[in-house]
Structures are given as structure tokens and as C-alpha cells.
Structure 1
Amino acid sequence: MKIILASSSAYRQTILKKLHIPFSNVTPNIDESSVATESISDQVERLAKNKALSISSQSAYKDSYVIGSDQLASFKGQVLGKPGDFATAKQQLLMFSGQTVRFYTGLCLVHAANNELSQIVETFDVTFKTLTESQIAIYLKIEQPYDCAGSFKCEGLGIALFESLNGRDPNTLIGLPLIALIDLFNTMSVNLFDYMQKDELNM
């Protein structure tokens, strides 16, 4: 069985490695523009699907299971982008102080040869502590999460900023919900335990 992760994200690749299954990654080429009338949930669902289809439609990957994923963060109804620099990240985190940010992650699994497609949108809520400017500045100087939506890395020092985390899978925050992914494989009658690299476990 061939599995393709339709992503160039090092974060998603690291998460998928947790399952000890062989996979390759291929960078999708799609238009990621938003649609004015589209909800955040619909947008991540559409983009995850388009990423998976852009790879599975290629003849070389037609018989592969292709995983597409897309994530957006929302605060008070507004989509949050990647900060890009210290000043923007500081502004975002000051805004989040004592507040809750919701993350939407669209996940899609496609097997073109079998004409199978399954998808889901997972949500995850992050509630922040009341933060001071000094705390935020120290955090940003240490971790520099300028390429992360929401201006933090939950798998790193970002955990120090949080009051609580609410969702069924913490991997969702990093962009690839594994519980949901296993569910999608199950809908296609694929048991990932059968494909885990047992040689690594001396089995």
C-alpha cells in the first residue's frame, strides 16, 4: 500500500511518522484563495480536498492513498493568518490574552483507483491565560513562531501560554488529526496496524 501526504509541511510529516507507516510526501499545487461566501469550516474542507485531488489525479499516484489537510484559526469570527514577524505575533497574542481561539482542520483521504473519497473537519479550542506584554515578548524571542497560525507552537513552549485545551486530538493543533485520519482509513476498510513497520519493533 502506498500512502502520499499532499503537503510540504515538516510539522505534518513529523506527526504522520508517529503512526510508523511508510509514506512519501508530494507538494500540492492548488489555488488557496478564500471565497467570500465560504465559512471557515467549508474553506478548510475544500482546500484539504483539493490538495488530495491534485496529487491523486496524477497517473503516478492513482493507486495511492493520498492525504490532504488544511488548517485555519479563527478568533471572534475572523480568520487568523501566520504573523510573519515579531510585531504582528505580539499583537495577536495580546489580543488572545484571556480569550479562546478555535482551530479548524480539514482532512481528506482519496484513493482514485477505487473512486473513494472521505473527509472530515476537526475543531480544537485553545483558551489563553491572561498574558503580560513581557511574557509574550519572552515567549516570542525564544520560540519565534512566525510561520504558525495563531503565533504559537503548541508542541513547544506555547503550552506555557494556555489555560486549557479542548478537542479530541492534540495533533489537530499542529495540522494533522491522527484520530480522524485513522477513522478515514477505516471507512475505506484499511487497518493501519497491518501496515505499521513491525521490523522497527523487532516483530
Structure 2
Amino acid sequence: MLESPSPQRLLVLGSTSPYRRELLQRLRLPFETTAPAVDETPQPGEAPRALALRLALAKAHAVAARHPQAVVIGSDQVADLAGQPLGKPGTHERATAQLRQMRGQTVVFQTAVAVVCQATGFAQVDLAAVKVRFRDLTDAEIERYLRAETPYDCAGSAKSEGLGISLLDAIVSDDPTALVGLPLIRTCRMLRAAGLTLP
């Protein structure tokens, strides 16, 4: 006689990002979302890669403390321009300044993901580094783009999944969804390791 499969643990995405939510929906697993309420201020001298890893894990642990039986995903992305972190611009002026800094440059988008289950003691974190080469943008191109897409909630001030792709010369990555905000190949690997069954 076949045993019926045991029910899966609740999956919680510790993020309010609509981009991460849309990406996680691709896996066709039921999940909830909740805000992680973590201070995202970089520590003095903290490298972008270290910042992304620390914040992804902190977000997952913060949400897991409130949902100890659940499998929790935390994620963070930091745009890395020659070792300097570029966060979400928040305003048109800051987005303009970021894009002017990045024109003609290669920016590494450090996208970290952590999976934690407090009940089982499971905790893993991984990082996908996406190299993005920006075209040598004119001020007029930057202004037109920002007025058209208003990407003020995106690290690096550009949405590659939208009109922002027109700003770029190249994208190099082994996990293509990482640039949008959640590296799904790595996420799937960790969810399986945490005991979830994926299609």
C-alpha cells in the first residue's frame, strides 16, 4: 500500500517586493509573503557581496522567528559599482545620479537568497553575481528612460525585465532571474534541500 505524501511545510517569502513575488509564483508552490522588518543599513566598510548575503540571511531569520514551522525565503540585492554599493534610488534625482555613474561601466548585481526553517534548524544562503554592462548613456537617454519607467524601487535604477534592457550592452549570469531579484535556480536547490517538493 502506498503511503500518502506528508503535507509540505508552509512556504513564506520574507519580502514585500512585487518582483520577487512574481518570480516565486513561477514555481507554482503556495506561499505567503510578509515584511521582514530588517535594518538594511550597510555596516562601515561592508562590501556589496557581504551586505547582500548578510541581509538575505537576516531577513529569512527575522521572518522565521515569527513562523518557526515554515520554510522561509529571504533575499537581498545590491548593485556593486567597483566595490561601492548602490541601493534603491528612491527619487528621480538619485536615479539620475546612479545611471550617470554607471554609464559605460560594468556593474555587478549581487543577489543573495537564504532559506531558513527554524523548526528543523535548516539554514542556507547563496549568492548569484550578475555582470551588467551599461551603454555609454547620454543625459537625454537617462531622462527619457526614468520618465518612462520610474524604476526608483530598483537597485541600480533600471528594470532589465522592462524598458531598462535598452540601456544595456550585455548581461552575464548563470541564474537569469537573479537580476530581477530572486535567483530561482539557487532558490529551487535550497527549497529541495529544506524538504519541499517542487514540480
CA distance in 2, matches of 1:34, 1:94: 22
Corresponding residue number in structure 1 for 2:155? 149
Q: Which moved more, 1:25-34 or 1:112-121?
A: 25-34
Distance 1:159 1:40, change over 3 A: same
Corresponding residue number in structure 2 for 1:67? 73
Corresponding residue number in structure 1 for 2:58? 50
Structure 1 residue 150 displacement after superposition: 0.8
Give the length in aligned residue pairs.
Answer: 191
The aligned runs of 1:89-168 (5 Å cut-off) are 89-168=95-174
* Amino acid of the structure 1 residue aligned with 2:52: V
Q: Which structure has greater helix proportion?
A: 1
Structure 1 residue 189 displacement after superposition: 4.1
CA distance in 2, matches of 1:118, 1:151: 29
Q: Scaled by the length of structure 1, what TM-score is found?
A: 0.89
CA distance in 1, matches of 2:91, 2:158: 12
CA distance in 2, matches of 1:110, 1:81: 25
Contact 2:47 2:84 in 1 (8 A): no
2:47 aligned with 1:26 = no
- 1:161-192 CA-to-partner distances (Å, cap 9, x unmatched) read 11000111221112111011011123234331
Task: Give the unaligned 5+ runs of structure 2.
Answer: 1-7
- 1:15-45 CA-to-partner distances (Å, cap 9, x unmatched) read 1111111000011122222211432222211
Corresponding residue number in structure 2 for 1:16? 24
Corresponding residue number in structure 2 for 1:183? 189
Contact 2:76 2:112 in 1 (8 A): yes
CA distance in 2, matches of 1:90, 1:47: 26
CA distance in 2, matches of 1:131, 1:38: 29
* Amino acid of the structure 1 residue aligned with 2:126: I
* Amino acid of the structure 2 residue aligned with 1:173: L
Structure 1 residue 113 displacement after superposition: 1.1
2:38 aligned with 1:39 = no
* Amino acid of the structure 1 residue aligned with 2:191: F
Distance 1:87 1:33, change over 3 A: closer
CA distance in 2, matches of 1:93, 1:80: 10
* Amino acid of the structure 1 residue aligned with 2:92: F
Task: Give the unaligned 5+ runs of structure 1.
Answer: 194-203
CA distance in 1, matches of 2:45, 2:101: 26
Q: Scaled by the length of structure 2, what TM-score is found?
A: 0.90
- Identity %, equivalent residues: 39
